[in-house]
Structure 1
Amino acid sequence: MSHTVPAAHLRAHVAAVLRAAGSAADEAETVATNLVLANLSGHDSHGVGMLPRYVDAVLEGGLQPNTGVTVVLDTGVLLTLDGQRGYGQVVGKQAMALGIARAKAHGSCIMTLANAHHLGRIGHFAEMAVAEGLVSLHFVNVLSRPVVAPFGGADGRYGTNPCCIGIPLAGSGDFILDFATSLAAQGKMRVAHNEGRRVAPGILIDEQGQPTTDPGVVVVPQGNGLFGALLAFGEHKGYGLAVACELLGGALTGSGTWHRPTDPNVRAVVNGMLTILISPAHLGTQASSFEAEAVAFVDWLKAGPVASGFDAVQIAGDPERAARVQREADGITLDERTWQEIVASGHKVGVSLPDQ
Structure 2
Amino acid sequence: MTPGDLRIQAAELTAFASEALEKSGARPADALTVAKHLVGANLAGHDSHGIGLLPAYVKHAVEGLVDVTADPEILHDKGAVLKVAAHDSWGKVAGDFAMKAAFPKVDALGLCAVTVSNAHHLGRIGAYGELAAQEGFAALFFVNVTDHDPMVAPYRGTDARFGTNPVCIALPPTGAKPAFLLDMATSRIAMGKARVAANKGGRVPFGSIIDADGMPTDDPSGFKGFEQKGALAPFGDHKGYGLAFAAELLAGAFSGGGTIQPGNERRGGIRNQMLAIVMQPDAFGDPADMEREMEAMWSYATASPPADWDSPVIAPGDPERALRKRRSESGIPLDPETVKQLNAAAEAVGVEGRLGVKE
TM-score scaled to structure 1, two decimals? 0.94
Q: Match for 1:168 among 156, 166, 172? A: 172
Q: Give the CA deviation at 1:47.
A: 0.4
Q: Give the CA deviation at 1:4.
A: 1.4
- Post-superposition Cα deviations, 1:90-138, rounded to whole Å, max 9, x if no partner, equal 1101111111221112111011110011000000000000111111000
Q: Give the CA deviation at 1:219.
A: 4.5
Does 2:196 match 1:194?
A: no
The answer to whether the 8 A contact 1:146-1:262 is kept is no
Distance in 2, matches of 1:157 and 1:309, equals 40
The answer to whether the 8 A contact 1:92-1:125 is kept is yes
The answer to whether the 8 A contact 1:164-1:177 is kept is yes
Q: Which residue of 2 aligns with 1:279?
A: 280
The answer to whether the 8 A contact 1:147-1:218 is kept is no
Structure 1 vs Structure 2 CA RMSD: 1.8
The one-letter code sitting in structure 1 at the alignment partner of 2:116 is L
Distance in 1, matches of 2:226 and 2:36, equals 31
Percentage of identical aligned residues: 42
Structure 2 counterparts to residues 51-130 of structure 1, below 5 A: 51-130=54-133
Distance in 1, matches of 2:235 and 2:223, equals 16
Provide the aligned length of Structure 1 versus Structure 2. Answer: 351
Distance in 1, matches of 2:355 and 2:41, equals 22
Q: Which residue of 1 aligns with 2:336?
A: 336
Which of 109-118 and 142-151 deviates more?
142-151
The answer to whether the 8 A contact 1:53-1:267 is kept is no
**Structure-2 change in CA distance of 1:98 and 1:355 (3 Å):** closer
Q: Which residue of 2 aligns with 1:251?
A: 253
Structure 2 counterparts to residues 198-237 of structure 1, below 5 A: 198-219=203-224, 227-237=229-239
Q: Give the CA deviation at 1:220.
A: 6.5
TM-score scaled to structure 2, two decimals? 0.94
Q: Give the CA deviation at 1:260.
A: 1.8
- Secondary structure, counterpart of 2:306 in structure 1: coil
The answer to whether the 8 A contact 2:143-2:273 is kept is yes
Q: Which residue of 2 aligns with 1:240?
A: 242
Q: Give the CA deviation at 1:303.
A: 2.3
Q: Give the CA deviation at 1:200.
A: 1.4
| Unaligned residue ranges in structure 2 (runs of 5+) | none
Does 2:228 match 1:185?
A: no
Distance in 1, matches of 2:230 and 2:263, equals 15
**Structure-2 change in CA distance of 1:126 and 1:243 (3 Å):** same
The one-letter code sitting in structure 2 at the alignment partner of 1:327 is R
| Unaligned residue ranges in structure 1 (runs of 5+) | none
- Secondary structure, counterpart of 2:312 in structure 1: coil
Runs of 4+ more than 4 Å apart = 219-222, 261-264
Q: Give the CA deviation at 1:332.
A: 0.7
